[in-house]
Structure 1
Amino acid sequence: MRKIILSIIGILLIIATFLYAKKLIADKNKPKPVLAKVIKTVFTDTVKNTKIPIVIAANGSLEAKRRVELYAEVQGVFRSGRTLFKPGQTYSSGQAIIRIDASEYYANVQSAKSNLYNSIAAIMPDLRLDFPDVFNKWQNYLNSFDLNKTTPKLPEMTSEKENYFITGRSIVSNYYSVKNLEQRLAKYTIAAPFSGILTEALVTEGSLIRSGQKLGEFIDPSVYEMEVAISKTYANLLKVGEDVLLNNLDKTETYQGKVSRVNGSIDATTQTITAYIEVKHENLKEGMYLEANLNAKEENDAIEIDRNLLLESQQIFVVRDSLLDVIDVKPVYFSDTKVVLKNVPNGTIILKKSVPGAYAGMLVKPFEDKSNTKNE
């Protein structure tokens, strides 16, 4: 019985071995599947070298071209006027912005002017006797003397005797003392040097103002300047009077400006040169941030492509016989998103958009716009 069981097991093992060997032979002779080649579709462009303008982008904030910081040179109480001293208040040229109470000082000026008048009147009898030829001149001066107006200039002295006589009576020294007091009296009123707007007010009516105290800021809102820093490479290309296109950061509004000034020195730290762009527009405000596009120069026989298409090895991908290849190029200018290249032959087919994982020898297929084909 045992021998029969062992015989059956042996026969089963032989049959299993035969079937397994047959399967291995069948698998060996079975042809392997051929993987289909993946061809990427790419956007291409044909090179046509032209004249590319080099436009330098620069940012900056606007500042009023004419601005005045208001400081007090005298002390006193700020008197209220017809217009409030508040930010946003407009003033015309010559209009009083600030009036400081000068009643006490005004009385001193009037006293000095009265003393000068009395001094001249006291010498008139002597002038009639000793200098009859100049008496009328000084008499006319007294007649024109008005205590409520600015002290008129002393008559011109025509002889040494007259000069010694008038100077000896301290009239000349008294006159200049009065003029000095009048000059200081004028500082109690601060007038607008030009038509503009008050942008900062640091005092209010009734405040005690001290000498040297800052009172506010006054600007002309009709003309603004923007300071921009440009690379020294383009220092010799910036010219005063050159038109500049400016726009806001949202690219919704554009303004026309011009280069008004160019600094004569280069910043040693940043190796940049400062240019000032003048711009006028009713919608502009001080502190507004703008972007300027300066036309530096034009590059002949060049092309402009996206910066991400330029490889670190200063090469770009080209398409030749449905295969990617690389060629050497010469970058001449970089902007934030673009690069200007030279040494790219006309008619060369280059990539218009970058391809992830691209390499030389990669099989590609140029994209064809079917809509354009139908229209043709």
Structure 2
Amino acid sequence: MRNIILSVLGVVLIIGAIFIGKEIANSKKKQRPVPAKVVKTVFTDTVVNSTVPIIISTNGNLVAKRRVELYSEVQGVFRSTGKLFRPGQEYKQGQTLIKVDATEYYASVQSAKSVLYNSIAAIMPDLRLDFPEVFPKWQNYLNGFNLDKTTPKLPEMTSEKENYFITGRGIVTNYYTVKNLEQRLSKFNIRAPFSGILTEALVTEGSLIRNGQKLGEYIDPTVYEMEVALGKSYANLLKVGETVALNNLEKTETFTGKVSRVNGSIDATTQTINAYIEVKSNDLKEGMYLEANLNAKSEANAIEVSRSLVLDGNRIFVVRDSILDIIDVNPVYFSDTKAVLKDVPNGTVILSKPVPGAYAGMSVKPYKTTTESASTNASSEN
């Protein structure tokens, strides 16, 4: 009897354990929640076609419009002019940039001038006797002859006899010899052709300067030019005198320039055309890197959007009844950040900012500003 009771209790315990185990297992199972339908809020714009100016962005370095490379045409020792010949040194128009010692050469010029003076003085008695009518003008020429000044021009010869007589005495030959020497003497002093600044100095005071040696570079720091290369499709759109907006790379400074020249030929290698933009400002320096925005042309019945909104195949997203759709467009110009599109009907609601993971048929909710929401509520109350 006792064994029967123990057997029954064992069976009951086993059945109870199985039942309790199932209850515990079932209690750990969680119901998977039903995903809520997510409607993304998007930024939109309503299309209003208008005339869109196409602005071409390009860049380049500034170069002084007026610049001179200084070379020596004579040989001698570089003498001080009172100003150090160093980069950054400013000069006024007409001031001496470089002075080469010309003591020896100056003596040879004075010698040639003396020969000319003596040759004219030697014929004066003959002129008094044979050509009394021209004697006064030659006498006046001698009286005005100064060895310390530039040789004056010979008197004009009014007759053939006078011409033969003067030329036969070698006076004309001596005169042009002197003028040639004086012309070369002037090259020992190099003067500033305009007010400007020295940007490169390759010699110093006391240096021996040789014929043909480069001495430095001199620029006018008030006017600069920037060379830019544009696609050949814009060759007929650029006009001389057109205003151009310029800015530095940091976008902190803006300048106004104008197209001063446009090259008449297209580069065969790059298929680009070079334009030159003139700009004036005291804040500019040669070599500065600037960006230029040229107004190439205007496109009628077009809109301008972010380039990131244009999909492959020239399509964009539109919003119709809170559902995204795709339409074809006709892009007429692309810049780095913008695109100019045509064939988009007026009143079409398009995305103004890209939506990650967007697809046709996606449910969206156009974003409304505070002002728009207030207007909507006021309309509902009325």
TM-score (norm 2): 0.89
The whole-number CA distance in structure 2 between the counterparts of 1:201 and 1:111 is: 35
- Structure 1 equivalent of residue 313 of structure 2: 313
Once the two structures are superposed, residues 85-131 of structure 1 have per-residue CA deviations (whole angstroms, 9 ceiling, x without a partner) of 11111111111111100000000000000011111111111112222
Measure the CA separation in 1 of the matches of 2:335 and 2:205. 53
State the partner residue of 2:161.
161
User: 1:240 matched to which residue of 2?
Assistant: 240
Q: Specify the alignment match of 1:132 in structure 2.
A: 132
Q: Aligned-pair distance for 1:35?
A: 3.4
Amino acid at match of 1:206: G
Which SS does the other structure have where 2:312 is aligned? coil
Name 1:256's counterpart in structure 2.
Answer: 256
Question: 1:16-165 counterparts in 2 under 5 A?
Answer: 34-165=34-165
Helix, strand or coil for the counterpart of 2:361? coil
- Name the SS of the counterpart of 2:83 in structure 1: coil
Cα distance in 2 for partners of 1:128, 1:121 equals 12
Q: Give 1:34 shift.
A: 4.2
Aligned to 1:339: 339
Moved more, 110-119 or 242-251: 242-251
Q: Counterpart of 1:173 in structure 2: which amino acid?
A: T
CA gap of 1:33–1:113, structure 2 versus 1, over 3 A, is closer
1:182 Cα deviation after fit: 0.4
Aligned to 1:357: 357
In 1, Cα distance between the equivalents of 2:363 and 2:137? 107
Give the Cα separation in 2 of the matches to 1:306 and 1:198: 46
CA separation in 1, counterparts of 2:225 and 2:341?
34
Cα deviation per residue 1:162-182 (whole Å; 9 max; x = unaligned)?
Answer: 222211111111111111000
Partner of residue 230, structure 1:
230
Cα pair distance change 1:81/1:32, threshold 3 Å: closer
Instruction: Report the CA distance shift for 1:33/1:84 in structure 2 as closer, same or farther (over 3 A).
Output: closer
SS for the counterpart of 1:129 is helix
Report SS of the residue matched to 1:187.
helix
- Runs ≥4 in structure 1, deviation > 4 angstroms? 31-34
3-state DSSP of counterpart to 2:265: strand
Please list every run of 5 or more consecutive structure 1 residues that lacks an aligned counterpart in the other structure. none
Code of the residue aligned with 1:85 in structure 2: it is F
Distance 1:142 1:136 in 2: 10
Q: Relative to structure 2, which stretch is displaced further, 121-130 or 333-342? A: 121-130
- Range 353-362 or range 143-152, more displaced: 353-362
Q: Deviations over 1:211-260 (max 9, x none)?
A: 11111111111111111111111111111111111111111111111111
Shift of residue 199, structure 1, vs aligned partner: 1.0
Q: CA deviation at 1:39?
A: 2.1
CA deviation after TM superposition for structure 1 residue 277, in Å: 0.9
Q: Given residue 286 of structure 2, which amino acid in structure 1 is its aligned partner?
A: E
The number of equivalent residue pairs is 367
Could you list the per-position Cα deviations for residues 171-196 of structure 1 after superposition, in whole angstroms to 9, with x for gaps in the alignment?
A: 11111111100000000000011111
Displacement after TM superposition at 1:368 (Å): 2.5
Aligned residue in 2 for 1:218: 218
Q: Which amino acid aligns with 1:291?
A: E
1:352 maps to amino acid? S
Counterparts of 1:282 and 1:167, CA distance in 2: 57
Deviates more, 1:99-108 or 1:215-224: 215-224
Q: Which amino acid is the alignment partner of residue 350 of structure 2?
A: I
Q: Please tell me the residue identity of whatever aligns with 2:149.
A: K
Q: Secondary structure at the match of 1:173?
A: helix
1:273: which partner in 2?
Answer: 273
Instruction: Give 2:379's aligned residue.
Output: none
Tell me what 2:207 maps to. 207
1:171 aligns with 2:181: no
Q: Distance in 2 between matches of 1:115 and 1:266?
A: 59
Give the secondary-structure state (helix, strand or coil) at the position aligned to 2:52: strand
What's the Cα RMSD here?
2.7
Gaps of 5+ in 2: 376-382
Cα separation, 2, equivalents of 1:311 and 1:130: 101
Shift of 1:353: 1.1
